[in-house]
Structure 1
Amino acid sequence: MSKKYTIQNSPFVVPTTDGKLIEEHFGNATDKNPNISIAHMVAPAGWSEPFQTPEFDEYTYIIKGKKQFIIDGDTVVLSAGESIKIEKNVRVQYSNPFDEPCEYLAVCLPAFSMDLVNREQL
Structure 2
Amino acid sequence: MKKYKIQNTPFVVPTSDGKLIEEHFGHATDGNKAISIAHMIAPAGWSEPFQTPEFDEYTYIISGKKQFIIEGEEIILEAGQSIKIERNTAVQYSNPFTIACEYIAICTPAFSMDKVNREV
Residue 23 of structure 2: SS of its match in structure 1? strand
- Which residue number in structure 2 is paired with residue 39 of structure 1? 38
Q: How does 1:1-122 map to 2 (within 5 A)?
A: 2-121=1-120
Counterpart Cα distance in 2 of 1:82 and 1:19: 23
Q: CA deviation at 1:48?
A: 0.1
Q: CA deviation at 1:85?
A: 0.1
Q: Which stretches in structure 1 are left out of the alignment for 5+ residues?
A: none
Q: CA deviation at 1:66?
A: 0.1
Counterpart Cα distance in 1 of 2:21 and 2:93: 14
Q: CA deviation at 1:95?
A: 0.1
Residue 62 of structure 2: SS of its match in structure 1? strand
What is the Cα-based RMSD across aligned positions, in Å?
A: 0.2
Counterpart Cα distance in 1 of 2:28 and 2:2: 21
Residue 24 of structure 1: SS of its match in structure 2? strand
After TM superposition, what 4+ stretches of structure 1 lie above 4 angstroms from structure 2?
none
Q: CA deviation at 1:9?
A: 0.6
Q: CA deviation at 1:37?
A: 0.1
Q: CA deviation at 1:36?
A: 0.1
Counterpart Cα distance in 2 of 1:109 and 1:28: 11
Q: Give TM-score scaled by structure 2 length.
A: 1.00
Q: Which stretches in structure 2 are left out of the alignment for 5+ residues?
A: none
Q: CA deviation at 1:42?
A: 0.1
User: Taking every aligned residue pair, what percent have the same amino acid on both sides?
Assistant: 77
Q: Give TM-score scaled by structure 1 length.
A: 0.98
Counterpart Cα distance in 2 of 1:66 and 1:59: 15
Q: Which letter does structure 2 place at the counterpart of 1:98?
A: F
